[in-house]
């Protein structure tokens, strides 16, 4: 079965676009700041390469109120991701349908039974966050526990690169195997780099 591999978090670099296409990706999320639009030359380059490129914005939030303020009047044609800095923010971000993904990080609150009850939006784990966690066993343990819980409970997950340059990109299957390895599974968790993130992109461009 052909999969539409998607890297939901990369920097807006033309060389990254070319490399993504060479690695077999069909779509990507490009991190831009608040109010920034995708430059037309960049949009044309993506179209010529056959890649669906969508603007991605990441908001850090420590409370329910902060999230609601940032979500007010959100555009429909962007990927909106929230990085929760508290348990309250995590629970709100996971259940609010205006949030596309929830950015996981080593210091994030635990995904326990109460969090699982409201878990609707995909948690997004970046390769950059995994690399950072390798410097501290406690942080790595938190990432491993997160992967184990979400996969065991069959909750939606996304793994993205968070790449700032072409050297931080990886093949889609490598990403899928990494996620499975963190959770202690043998088979690659392909949905996390294809179906789940690609659905987010398609929704943003009006196909879902």
Predicted TM-score (pTM) of the model is: 0.94
The arrangement of strands across the sheet holding 25-31 comes to 5-10, 25-31, 52-61, 79-84, 101-103, 123-126, 157-160
Q: Please report, for residues 4, 70, 88, 109, 134, the alpha-carbon distance to residue 62 in angstroms, rounded to integers and kept in the order given.
A: 34, 12, 8, 11, 25
Tell me if residue 193 falls in helix, strand or coil. helix
Which tokens in the block code for residue 170?
């990886």
Per-residue pLDDT of the chain (208 residues; tens, 9 = 90+): 679 999 999 999 999 999 999 999 999 999 997 777 888 888 888 999 999 999 999 999 999 999 999 998 888 889 999 999 999 999 999 999 999 999 999 999 999 999 999 999 999 999 999 998 998 999 999 999 999 999 999 999 999 999 999 999 999 999 999 999 999 998 999 999 999 999 999 999 875 4
Q: What structural domains and CATH numbers belong to the chain?
A: 5-204 (3.20.20.140)
């Amino acid at each position: 079965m052909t999969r539409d591999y998607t890297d939901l978090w990369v920097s807006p670099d033309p060389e990254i676009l070319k490399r993504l296409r060479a690695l077999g990706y069909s779509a990507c999320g490009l991190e831009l700041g608040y109010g920034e639009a995708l430059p037309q030359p960049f949009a044309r380059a993506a179209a010529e390469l056959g890649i669906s490129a969508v603007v991605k914005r990441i908001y850090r939030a420590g409370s329910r109120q902060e999230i609601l303020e940032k979500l007010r009047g959100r555009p429909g044609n962007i990927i909106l991701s929230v990085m929760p800095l508290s348990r309250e923010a995590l629970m709100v971000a996971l259940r609010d349908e205006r949030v596309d993904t929830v950015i996981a990080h080593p210091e994030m609150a635990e995904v326990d039974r109460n969090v699982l009850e409201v878990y609707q939006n995909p948690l997004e784990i970046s390769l950059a966050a995994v690399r950072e966690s390798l410097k501290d066993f406690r942080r790595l343990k938190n990432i491993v526990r997160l992967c184990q819980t979400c996969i065991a409970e069959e909750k939606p997950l996304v793994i993205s690169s968070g790449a700032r340059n072409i050297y931080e990109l990886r093949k889609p299957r490598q990403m899928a195997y990494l996620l499975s390895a963190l959770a202690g599974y043998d088979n690659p968790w392909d949905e996390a780099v294809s179906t789940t993130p690609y659905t987010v992109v398609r929704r943003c461009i009006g196909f879902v």
